[in-house]
Structure 1
Amino acid sequence: MVLSWRRSRKSGRISAKKDAGVETPERIFTTPTHFLCPISLDLMKDPVTLSTGITYDRESIEKWVDSGNKTCPVTNQTLTNFDQIPNHAIRKMIQLWCVENKSQGIERIPTPRIPITKSDVSDICSNISISTARKDHSKCIELVNKVKRWMRESEKNRKCLIEGGVGDVLSTAFEFFTTVCINENDEVLSVILSALPSLFPISEEAQTKLVSVPSIRCMARYVKKEDPNSVLLLKELTVCKERNAITITHELLSIEEMEESLMKIVKLQLTPRATKAALTLIYQIITIYSSSSNSTRFANADFVSILIDLIVDSERSLCEMAMAVMDAICLFEVGRKRVKEHAMTMPVMVKKLLRVSGMATELSVSVIWRLCKNDEAGCCVEAIKLGCFQKLLVVLQVGCGGKTKEKVSELLKMMNQYRGKLECFDSTMNLKHINRPSF
């Protein structure tokens, strides 16, 4: 006869009864109350004891403290400190109890990893600095890999490493190894690059070390190697401070084939984060140096096609960034020409109106406005056929920013003179019916 078990969350009681229709007394299986967290009332996976002597599950008490509470949930006493001492005795008892009751469907809880302390962070910072000064590549790589392992274990570890200044120490190490023979330090630089993007924010002094000419050129070298971490680090630096963005953009423009390398990162889509980071850098290059001939290199048919695909198929933030780059490309004539030549541009821009987000709608309006303003008859007629006029009216009704509102009003005026002469297509049409051009 088959028995089905059920657990009561609050009492920790587990009962079993026959599946048959005949009523039988339930067999009660009770979890010891001192194994349950007083907050969640669940079996404790990582029991820790506070200064008040009460034991809680670490995750539950951390949420309690992080919410701004300064008292013990059980005793209501003010906590003199927030130290959480692992209760190994209770944990071992819980694990033993789980093993003994395995036949009742109880799984043994794994031994938890103890979070790192400020002392651990201080020690590793000191050791990284020493190994860097000694040019001890292998030791430095070992320590950085240890930092990465700690970060993977928990978000709390990562925050502790950031607060302890590990990012600053690694920034110093990175600059140091870029000032000597890069080829000899290739492995250690690559490992540091893989850790740094996750250790932001860093201090202004550390940022200064990473935006030095040798550091930027070293990162650019890894971009050409299609290393996603180099793009992520450059992007993190540019969003920290406007001066960083200008310095990095200026230096990247001076490096041969840098634009092509960034476009290749976008094309390969190594990771969503790296793709978005590369798009961010491209956007900054175009907008900061829009008058530079280098910026027009992004206005090529292949790259426009890649952007269209990203806008159609990507998640929201990546879609928005691709649309922002598309809008930036339309700032100059050759860019508008390439964007207009792509058969999918106008259908996609109209399709994305009111579909993705407020920002995506504003960017769609901006792209359509730039194209129609410079080729009123051709682009306006195409947009009207796709149902753009009706969608723009809705954009006005739901509300939009001041500049976007002006663009919408101007577009409606331009389109109105052609509207009566044309029959609009269904604005809900599926994009799969539009033939994609081959490049």
Structure 2
Amino acid sequence: MGEIDVPHYFLCPISLEIMKDPVTLCTGITYDRSSIERWIFSSKKKTCPVTKQELPDSDLTPNHAVRRLIQGWCIANASNGVERIPTPKPPIEKAQIIKLLEESRLPNLQMKSLQKLKLIVSESERNKRCAESAGAGDFLASIIKKNYVSTEEKINNGFDYTIASDEALSILYHLQMSEEGFHSLIAKNGEFVQTLTRVLQQGHYQSRSYAILLLKSIVKVFEPVHLIGLRCGTFREIMNVLRDPISNQATKAALQILIEICPWGRNRVKAADAGAVPLLIELILETTEKRVCEMVLVLLDQLCGCAEGRAEFLGHSAGIAIVAKKIIRVSHLASEKAVRILYSIAKFSATSSVLHEMLQVGAASKLCFLLQVECSMKIKEKAKEILMLHSRAWKNSPCIPLHLVSTYPSL
């Protein structure tokens, strides 16, 4: 407000800006609605910022007295360039959202109602949580599940139901549901993962992006029994996201999903059968991003823990070379996972041709180098174990530089 002296009780204690919609917590402290809602809903803090008291609920009571004082002060200082603060809109109530969801069930009102819901959800974190508590997540999931069907069923009586499904998919993603909300969605909409799989198969790029991001959130709250039961078709569609990148965010989501699900049951085999290993090797050959590189190496480590994954890895001409190259160059995590991959290959798939290739591409030399440089003992011990496993084949090889020969561990 420049040179104008603003009364301190007009300022929000969090943002120190003049309040536009003052509300009071149960602790008696007044805040601007947008600031305290961000504190409670986005930051997920359950205490009063000023008093530090626990908040038994998130009820916000409009402080009409302070709002009238602020409005009066703005009018009195209009000649100094102070603009009158508009009267705030009343916050959305749960009953209003329930009514909107009911209207969305009618085909002639569905798109209009969904667009209203999208606008409400986009306005604030409070509105998102209000919509979730009103059952919006379950309802949106049911629309997507009902309408993402085979091509011949998409248009019924002149209405393309996938348009509504895509709108519902967008809203469901932007709703950013809580863990409890996703648990409820899964419980009430069985086979929803199969619905998302169909979206990945049939949808346009934006819908596929929302689907893979939602799948990432759902997988995080899955029970092991659900993870073990994932179908091969879902793995194939995840691979298609990696094969035909939608966006960097979608690629990372696909990688994170695989990291979450591969340790369970036969999921490593399913991923290998779906072509994960060559795709991951091609991805790590192309990427320059540290996080993507780390995620790929984490996955390759998991997949090389099964015979099918190792066979696919060794079937790619660049597999051993690119993994060895990433040691030391990316991060501690990348080095650890790269050494673990080489360990799996050296211990379980060490044919004479594989051992020769590890020498030729410098993998054995890189392992010797690890014993000379500063890195964790965990990595050094794993590298030493690999070198000792195949000391007869490697120790006197001219492929290991002379300055590294002295590093070679003795039996």
Taking structure 1 as the reference length, the TM-score comes to: 0.66
* Structure 2 counterpart of 1:148: 118
Code of the aligned partner of 1:83: L
Which secondary structure state, in structure 1, belongs to the residue aligned with residue 361 of structure 2? helix
Code of the aligned partner of 2:295: M
* Structure 1 counterpart of 2:240: 264
What's the CA shift string for 1:366-415, capped at 9, x where partnerless? 222234443334315634576443336667x6355xxx786444224347
**Offset of residue 101 of structure 1:** 3.9
For 1:345 and 1:81, locate their aligned partners in 2 and report how far apart those are by CA, in whole Å: 53
* Structure 1 counterpart of 2:210: 229
What's the CA shift string for 1:227-264, capped at 9, x where partnerless? 212222333332222222233x22626xxxx72x4333
Which secondary structure state, in structure 1, belongs to the residue aligned with residue 251 of structure 2? helix
**Offset of residue 223 of structure 1:** 0.8
For 1:250-329, list aligned pairs within 5 A.
250=231, 252=233, 259=236, 261-282=237-258, 284=261, 288-289=265-266, 295-298=272-275, 301=278, 304-310=281-287, 313-314=288-289, 316=291, 318-329=292-303
* Structure 1 counterpart of 2:401: 423
Which secondary structure state, in structure 2, belongs to the residue aligned with residue 56 of structure 1? strand
* Structure 1 counterpart of 2:407: none
* Structure 2 counterpart of 1:206: 185
1:384/1:363 CA distance change after superposition, 3 Å: closer
Match of 1:121 among 66, 83, 94: 94
For 1:424 and 1:113, locate their aligned partners in 2 and report how far apart those are by CA, in whole Å: 77
* Structure 2 counterpart of 1:376: 355
1:286/1:70 CA distance change after superposition, 3 Å: closer
Which secondary structure state, in structure 2, belongs to the residue aligned with residue 30 of structure 1? coil
Which secondary structure state, in structure 1, belongs to the residue aligned with residue 109 of structure 2? helix
What's the CA shift string for 1:118-137, capped at 9, x where partnerless? xx2343234324532xxx23
Query: For the Cα contact (< 8 Å) 1:392–1:408, is it kept in 2?
Result: yes
* Structure 2 counterpart of 1:44: 18
1:127/1:82 CA distance change after superposition, 3 Å: closer
**Offset of residue 207 of structure 1:** 0.3
**Offset of residue 281 of structure 1:** 4.5
1:179/1:321 CA distance change after superposition, 3 Å: same
Query: For the Cα contact (< 8 Å) 2:114–2:168, is it kept in 1?
Result: yes
Matched, 1:137 2:107: yes
What's the CA shift string for 1:193-224, capped at 9, x where partnerless? 22223224325453044442xx4444223212
For 1:167 and 1:307, locate their aligned partners in 2 and report how far apart those are by CA, in whole Å: 36
Percent of paired sites with the same residue: 17
Query: For the Cα contact (< 8 Å) 1:175–1:209, is it kept in 2?
Result: no
For 1:6-45, list aligned pairs within 5 A.
14=2, 29-34=3-8, 36-37=10-11, 39-40=13-14, 42-45=16-19
For 1:408 and 1:262, locate their aligned partners in 2 and report how far apart those are by CA, in whole Å: 33
1:41/1:390 CA distance change after superposition, 3 Å: same
**Offset of residue 32 of structure 1:** 2.2
For 1:236 and 1:264, locate their aligned partners in 2 and report how far apart those are by CA, in whole Å: 19
Which secondary structure state, in structure 2, belongs to the residue aligned with residue 137 of structure 1? coil
Code of the aligned partner of 1:278: A
1:348/1:49 CA distance change after superposition, 3 Å: same
Matched, 1:220 2:188: no
Matched, 1:243 2:250: no
1:409/1:287 CA distance change after superposition, 3 Å: farther
1:302/1:423 CA distance change after superposition, 3 Å: same
**Offset of residue 37 of structure 1:** 1.8
Code of the aligned partner of 2:138: D
Unpaired segments ≥5 residues, structure 1: 1-11, 15-28, 427-439
1:115/1:239 CA distance change after superposition, 3 Å: farther
1:156/1:81 CA distance change after superposition, 3 Å: closer
Code of the aligned partner of 1:350: I
Which secondary structure state, in structure 1, belongs to the residue aligned with residue 246 of structure 2? coil
Code of the aligned partner of 2:215: L
Query: For the Cα contact (< 8 Å) 2:13–2:50, is it kept in 1?
Result: no
For 1:413 and 1:115, locate their aligned partners in 2 and report how far apart those are by CA, in whole Å: 72
* Structure 1 counterpart of 2:32: 57
Query: For the Cα contact (< 8 Å) 1:48–1:85, is it kept in 2?
Result: yes
Taking structure 2 as the reference length, the TM-score comes to: 0.70
For 2:274 and 2:217, locate their aligned partners in 1 and report how far apart those are by CA, in whole Å: 24
